[in-house]
């Protein structure tokens, strides 16, 4: 693998610009992806690692994290399957509505579902307290379970929908033709075909659940989890070694799941054997099943709408749970903190540009026939396997004592490189679609090497660049898992302020600021849509 072929080396030596760019890209990725990761893993001593099994609290956190992973993954995948089924059957009423509704959690800041459910189902919850008069306690594993199910099922839905849509309706017709009744078709064909997709969805959801910091820190209460434990270690006790240990523990299952997803499941998806043939409608869905699915999807849709309704309503309600009169006073309080929103926007913009540029350049490099391009590809997708808290601790250890420390640049860099896989993979996929013959045509007509890049690739990759920017920007502005480790008194961001407000029960102002974040998110999505004609997906792996 690492054997360099002389012919290639000589050929690339003739193109020093490309060679230097390549070395520069490798250097930057090693510095901002590999180095912080190694800092985390090597920070605790071997003795610290060996002592892990003796630490009751951490083993408890590990067990809890794994238990939540199993629970939330199963429920989120199940709900995702229901939605995917509903929206891929043409005879299910409301399928377009369900598809749109189910996308909403993907655009919510990573703590928002938990925040909204405290407002809805908490001790003073609109539904539990005011409407039902119950004494409810949503803090703990059960609240987190519900929150994570709603927050992460759209990921499962998207993956399973892709697989169900890829299944040729002819297969179902063929089964009917060979004597299968509606339920047999469902069991032996539709669901059987979706199995690899369901497995892939479970892995992606599991990674998101394990790494989920925002919801856990808001609603888990005293329930120790790996993702939140790292922050408690550092905030409460300044225990960097402990924080590093915990996130290192968290890294093991997420990387394992990531590799499993990337190198096993994603290659096992049954693509339909043949290409052409008329696209025909799917056979009818069994009526009983259809109405059960519709009822369940409607129920979940209500839960999703409550997320948005709760937060916005909270921003305009005098005293949640006690005085339901409308007020604008929370917005005045929020206005005092609006400067943190500008910090967020600045950081997001820098991170967006970095993700976009680095993503496109690296994608261009890995599409060339260069030695070590697989290594570069690995570095560019690796951050997708790293939980946000891991990256946060990594940047603290690696760069807090450098000139970067305490500036907004450390935040922007950490976020940019954490989001790199999304920008990189979008650009790489786009590059793959561009036929080599287009480049050859340009060369054939007399374009030089650099002109090819400028005339052919830059315009064609513009869309990928804009999308990478938008996704990175939105995720940076709403991020909590990384910024919480890297903010300094001079560099406070909006999400950190909101988190503090929620924890201090200042719900109105928290709702107002979150509403502004939402506006920012949807304006960004709208602008991107205007530019590239497509709604971007902001969530691949949650943090």
Partner 1 sequence: MADRPAHIRLRHVTKRFGDALAVDDVSLDVAEGSFTTLLGPSGCGKTTTLRMVAGFHRPDAGDIFLRDVRVTDIPPHRRNTAMVFQEYALFPHMTVAENVGYGLRMRRVPGPEARRRVAQALELVGLSGQERKFPHQLSGGQQQRVALARALIVEPEVLLLDEPLSNLDAKLRVRVRTEIRQLQQRLGKTTLYVTHDQEEALAISDQIAVMHNGRILQVGSPAEIYFHPANRFVADFVGLANFIEGEVVDAHHVHVNGLVVTVARPIARAGRVTLVVRPEMVRLLPAAAVEQPALRGRIAATAFLGSLTRYWVTADGNEWVVDVPAPGHETLHGEVALLLPSERIHVLTE
Q: What does the binding site for partner 1 look like in residue numbers (CB under 8 A)?
A: 168, 170-171, 173-181, 184, 188-189, 192-193, 195, 270-278, 280, 283
Cβ nearer to partner 1, comparing 175 with 306: 175
Q: Which is nearer to partner 1, 184 or 488 (CB)?
A: 184
Distance CA 425, CA 431 (A): 10
Measured CA distances, 369 to 8, 9, 453 (Å): 9, 11, 15
In sequence order, the 6+-apart residues with CB closer than 8 A to the CB of 132 are none
Are 336 and 506 in contact by the 8 Å Cβ rule? The answer is no
Shortest Cβ distance from residue 181 to partner 1 (Å)? 6
Residue 94 C-beta: closest distance to partner 1, Å: 21
- Among residues 48 and 182, whose Cβ is nearest to partner 1? 182
User: Which of residues 273 and 295 has its CB atom nearest to partner 1 in the complex?
Assistant: 273
Least spacing, CB of residue 410 vs partner 1, in Å: 49
Three-class secondary structure assignment of 226-282: HHHHHHHHHHHHCCHHHHHHHHHHHHHHHHHHHHHHHHCHHHCCCCCCCCCCCCCCC
Nearer to partner 1, 195 or 346 (CB): 195
Q: How many residues does the chain have?
A: 543
Rounded distance, CA 387 to CA 446, Å? Answer: 47
Are residues 495 and 344 in contact, defined by beta-carbon separation less than 8 angstroms?
Answer: yes
User: In 3-state terms, what secondary structure has residue 488?
Assistant: strand
Q: How far is the CB of 267 from partner 1 (least distance, A)?
A: 13
Q: Which is nearer to partner 1, 25 or 175 (CB)?
A: 175
Q: Smallest distance, Å, CB 202 to partner 1?
A: 18
Q: In angstroms, what is the minimal distance from the CB of 188 to partner 1?
A: 8
**Cβ-contact 59, 132 below 8 angstroms:** no
E-assigned strands of 7-85? none
End-to-end CA, the chain = 34
Q: Which is nearer to partner 1, 112 or 171 (CB)?
A: 171
Classify residue 53 by its DSSP letter: G
Q: How far apart are CA 81 and CA 64, in angstroms?
A: 25
Closest CB to partner 1 among residues 184, 504: 184
In whole angstroms, the minimum distance from the beta carbon of 89 to partner 1 comes to: 16
Q: How does DSSP assign 157-184, residue by residue?
A: HHHHHHHHHHS-HHHHHHHHHTT--HHH
534: its two tokens: 């497509």
Written as one string, the DSSP assignment of 294-324 is: HHHHHHHHHHHHHHHHHHHHHHHEEETTTEE
Enclosing H/E stretch for 325:
strand 323-326
Least distance between partner 1 and beta carbon 173 (Å): 6
Q: Please report, for residues 202, 257, 357, 485, the alpha-carbon distance to residue 260 in angstroms, rounded to integers and kept in the order given.
A: 11, 5, 29, 29
Least Cα distance to 186 among 290, 276, 268 occurs for 290
Residue 88 Cβ, how far from partner 1 at the closest point, in Å?
17
Q: Provide the token pair at 209.
A: 């659940």
CB of 81 to partner 1, least distance (A): 17
Nearer to partner 1, 66 or 180 (CB): 180
Least distance from partner 1 to the Cβ atom of residue 286, Å: 12
Nearer to partner 1, 268 or 368 (CB): 268
Residue 272 CB, nearest approach to partner 1 (Å): 7
d(CA 187, CA 377) in angstroms, rounded, equals 39
Closer residue to partner 1 in complex, CB, 189/474: 189
* CA geometry: angle 105, 149, 216, nearest 5 deg: 85
Nearer residue to partner 1 within complex by CB, 272 or 505: 272
């Amino acid at each position: 693998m690492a054997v360099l072929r002389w012919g290639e080396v000589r050929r690339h030596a003739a193109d020093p610009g490309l060679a230097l760019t390549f070395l520069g890209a490798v250097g930057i990725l090693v510095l901002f992806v590999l180095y912080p990761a190694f800092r985390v893993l090597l920070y605790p001593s071997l003795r610290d690692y060996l002592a892990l099994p003796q630490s009751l609290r951490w083993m408890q956190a590990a067990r809890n994290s794994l238990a939540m992973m199993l629970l939330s993954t199963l429920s989120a995948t199940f709900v995702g399957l229901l939605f995917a089924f509903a929206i891929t059957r043409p005879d299910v009423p409301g399928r377009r509505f369900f598809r749109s509704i189910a996308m909403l959690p993907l655009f919510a800041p990573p703590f928002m579902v938990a925040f909204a459910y405290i407002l809805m189902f908490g001790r003073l919850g609109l539904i539990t307290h005011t409407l039902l008069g119950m004494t409810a306690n949503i803090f703990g594993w059960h609240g987190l379970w519900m929150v994570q199910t709603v927050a992460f099922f759209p990921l499962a839905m998207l993956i399973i929908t892709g697989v169900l849509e890829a299944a040729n309706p002819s297969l179902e017709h063929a089964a009917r033709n060979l004597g299968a009744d509606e339920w047999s078709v469902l069991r032996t064909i539709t669901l059987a075909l979706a199995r690899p997709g369901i497995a892939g969805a479970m892995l992606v959801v599991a990674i998101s659940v394990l790494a989920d910091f925002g919801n856990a820190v808001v609603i888990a209460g005293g329930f120790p989890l790996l993702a939140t434990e790292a922050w408690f270690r550092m905030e409460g006790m300044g225990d960097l070694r402990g924080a590093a240990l915990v996130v290192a523990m968290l890294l093991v299952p997420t990387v394992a799941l990531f590799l499993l997803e990337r190198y096993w499941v994603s290659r096992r998806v049954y693509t339909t054997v043949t290409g052409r043939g008329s696209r025909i409608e799917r056979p009818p869905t069994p009526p009983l099943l259809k109405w059960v699915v519709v009822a369940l999807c409607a129920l979940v849709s209500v839960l999703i709408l409550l997320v948005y309704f709760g937060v916005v309503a909270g921003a305009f309600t005098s005293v949640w749970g006690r005085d339901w009169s409308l007020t604008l006073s929370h917005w005045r309080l929020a206005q005092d903190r609006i400067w943190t929103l500008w910090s967020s926007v600045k950081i997001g913009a820098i991170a967006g540009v970095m993700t976009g540029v680095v993503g496109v350049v690296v994608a261009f490099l890995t599409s060339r026939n260069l030695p070590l391009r697989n290594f570069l590809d690995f570095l560019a997708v690796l951050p997708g396997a790293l939980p946000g808290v891991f990256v946060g601790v990594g940047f603290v250890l690696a760069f807090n004592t450098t000139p970067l420390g305490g500036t907004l640049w450390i935040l922007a860099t950490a976020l940019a490189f954490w989001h790199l896989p999304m920008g990189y993979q979008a650009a790489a996929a786009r590059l793959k679609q561009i036929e080599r013959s287009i480049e050859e045509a340009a060369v054939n007509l007399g374009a030089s090497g650099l002109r090819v890049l400028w005339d052919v690739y830059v315009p064609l990759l513009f869309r990928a660049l804009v999308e990478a920017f938008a996704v990175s920007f939105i995720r940076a502005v709403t991020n909590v898992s990384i910024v919480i480790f890297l903010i300094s008194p001079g560099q406070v961001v909006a999400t950190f302020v909101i988190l503090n407000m929620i924890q201090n029960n200042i719900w109105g102002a928290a709702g107002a600021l979150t509403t502004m974040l939402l506006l920012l998110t949807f304006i960004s999505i709208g602008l991107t849509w205007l530019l590239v004609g497509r709604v971007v997906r902001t969530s691949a792996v949650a943090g």
